[in-house]
């Protein structure tokens, strides 16, 4: 073992110098990479659009708060159009889906749907688009909200249709 060390010492007598040179090189490369990332990020200015998933749903913020909210409502209406509450055989097939994103976090409310007849993947893509757009809207317009945690409703099957059960008063 000592012989191997002495051979390495003869080959690399200044191993500390080499190690410090490598450290300086790594630090320099890290700095160049960080600066490159910053330059790229800054050169890609914000278009005011919130790109959303494969469905092509996109909100283009105009700076007009009412018009921007109307776009979110329209996207939300598209999500609601995907909901089918009929067609389930048991209450266990009924589901809930969170809608929106309040400024303090969490959804604004929940939709109830039948998992057997609703295209859940399409529904959740659309609802993800709504939530992302609403998060951007809340940030852009500096909105605040109450910070209570909203639980999904209990669901029931009534006449073959999934429905939210009202909480006991």
Residues 24 and 93 in one domain: no
31 located within any domain: yes
Examine the domain organization and report whether 80 and 139 are in the same domain: yes
- The answer to whether 70 and 149 have CB atoms below 8 angstroms apart is no
Q: For 98-124, what is each residue's pLDDT tens digit?
A: 999 999 999 999 999 999 999 999 999
pLDDT in tens, 16-58: 444 445 444 455 544 444 444 333 333 333 445 554 444 557 8
Decide if 169 is inside a domain. no
Range of the domain at 9: 2-43
Which pLDDT belongs to residue 4?
Answer: 52
| The residue to which tokens 């998992």 are assigned | 115
User: What's the total number of domains in the chain?
Assistant: 2
* Straight-line distance from the first to the last Cα atom of the chain, in angstroms, rounded to the nearest whole number: 81
Mark whether 39 and 53 lie in a shared domain: no
Collect all residues with Cβ–Cβ distance below 8 Å to 164 and sequence separation of at least 6. 96, 110, 112, 153, 154, 155, 156
Confidence (pTM): 0.67
φ, ψ for residue 103, nearest 5 deg: -60, -35
């Amino acid at each position: 073992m000592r012989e191997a060390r002495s051979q390495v010492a003869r080959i690399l007598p200044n191993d500390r110098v080499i190690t410090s040179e490598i450290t300086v090189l790594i630090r320099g490369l890290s700095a160049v990479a960080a600066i490159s990332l910053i330059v790229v990020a800054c050169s890609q200015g914000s278009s005011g659009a919130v790109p959303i998933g494969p469905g092509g749903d996109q909100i283009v913020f105009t700076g007009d708060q009412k018009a921007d909210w109307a776009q979110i409502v329209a996207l939300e209406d598209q999500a609601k159009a995907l909901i089918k509450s009929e067609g389930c055989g048991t209450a266990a097939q009924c589901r809930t889906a969170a809608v929106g994103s309040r400024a303090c976090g969490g959804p604004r409310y929940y939709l109830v749907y039948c998992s057997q007849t609703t295209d859940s993947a399409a529904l959740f893509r659309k609802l993800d688009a709504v939530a992302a757009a609403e998060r951007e809207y809340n940030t852009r317009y500096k909105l605040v909200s109450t910070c209570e945690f909203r639980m999904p409703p209990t669901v029931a099957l009534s006449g073959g249709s999934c429905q939210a059960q009202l909480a006991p008063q």
